[in-house]
């Protein structure tokens, strides 16, 4: 198998489980050395990095609360210190933070915005200090930036729409440096956060043209493509992986 990312170093925020873990595995299998950040899932982060290393890859885990901009910035710096460089940033950490707008507290609002939006900005800012030509910034947004079929998702939709706008603006700013910036918007994906047999699955599935939930590996496969050399002409894009949810 051709390892399209050999010699590259990536950091995946929120990479200990779900879509983030699938992304970390996929990047490692393409030859990249991978750092993942985690907050509460220390055991999962340890298991994931051990699995990647046992398969012949290189992976490290860094504790960093995505709601803390200083911790996010420090994780980028630690990645460079321990792995020697940084080529790929995957902004994956996220929270849902759903609820009726009248019941959303200031703390709940601030936490959702801090994790879903502020962390993307500050991780990207920190990463750009180390990236050269061929660098990649890939953010995992959400199809709910474009379409949300359930009530109670106002703050979540706000943050994910903000991510898409940030991607377009940053792509304009840094394209001359040979660094691409893109957002992937997954639709319903089978994870612990949103299982295919969970309480919202039946109503959600009715909106999916493909008539099924996606998998974390299907999202990860697009990440590895965008991280590789064949995607050098794709920047400022928002790409849906949603089974036709927004069709």
Q: What's the pLDDT score for residue 29?
A: 97
Q: Which of 38, 156, 213, 245 is catalytic?
A: 156
With CA atoms as reference, report the closest residue to 25 among 79, 90, 73, 87.
Answer: 90
What Å distances lie between residue 123 and 40, 68, 82, 93, 191, CA to CA?
19, 11, 17, 11, 24
Structure confidence by residue, pLDDT tens digits, 223-232: 999 999 999 9
Which residues contact residue 95 at a Cβ distance below 8 angstroms, ignoring those fewer than 6 apart? Answer: 111, 112, 115, 116
Residue 214 CA to chain centroid, in angstroms? 16
Mean pLDDT lowest among 1-5, 125-129, 183-187, 228-232: 1-5
Q: Answer yes or no: is pLDDT of 247 > 60.
A: yes
Q: Answer yes or no: is pLDDT of 192 > 90.
A: no
Q: Answer yes or no: is pLDDT of 8 > 80.
A: yes
* Strand-pair partners of 11: 35, 89
Residue 205 token pair: 């599935």
- The domains of the chain, with CATH numbers, are 9-239 (3.40.50.720)
Residue 46 token pair: 């340890």
Active site residue 156: yes
Structure confidence by residue, pLDDT tens digits, 35-56: 999 999 999 999 999 999 999 9
Average pLDDT across the chain, whole number: 96
Structure confidence by residue, pLDDT tens digits, 146-157: 999 889 999 999
Name the band, by pLDDT with cuts 50, 70 and 90, for residue 1: low
Inter-axis angle of helices 18-29 and 216-227, nearest 10: 50
Q: Phi/psi at 35 (nearest 5 deg)?
A: -105, 135
Q: What's the pLDDT score for residue 198?
A: 87
Q: Indicate yes or no: pTM above 0.85.
A: yes
């Amino acid at each position: 198998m051709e390892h399209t990312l050999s010699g590259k170093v990536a950091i995946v925020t929120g990479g200990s489980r779900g879509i983030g873990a699938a992304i970390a595995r996929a990047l490692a299998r393409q030859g990249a050395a991978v750092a993942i950040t985690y907050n509460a899932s220390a055991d999962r982060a340890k298991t994931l990095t051990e699995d990647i290393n046992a398969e012949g890859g290189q992976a490290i885990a860094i504790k960093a609360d995505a709601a803390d901009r200083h911790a996010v910035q420090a994780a980028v710096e630690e990645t460079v210190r321990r792995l020697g460089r940084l080529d790929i940033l995957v902004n994956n950490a996220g929270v849902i933070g759903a609820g009726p707008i009248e019941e959303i507290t200031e703390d709940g609002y601030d936490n959702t915005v801090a994790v879903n939006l502020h962390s993307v900005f500050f991780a990207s800012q920190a990463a750009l200090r180390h990236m050269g030509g061929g660098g990649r910034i890939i953010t995992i947004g959400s199809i709910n930036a474009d379409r949300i079929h359930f009530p109670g998702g106002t703050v979540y939709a706000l943050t994910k729409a903000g991510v898409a706008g940030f991607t377009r603006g940053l792509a304009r700013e840094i394209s001359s440096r040979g660094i691409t910036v893109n957002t992937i918007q997954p639709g319903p994906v089978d994870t612990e956060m949103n299982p295919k047999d969970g309480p919202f699955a039946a109503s959600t599935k009715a909106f999916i043209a493909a008539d099924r939930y996606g998998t974390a590996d299907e999202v990860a496969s697009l990440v590895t493509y965008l991280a590789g050399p064949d995607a050098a002409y794709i920047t400022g894009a928002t790409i849906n992986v949603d089974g036709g949810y927004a069709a």
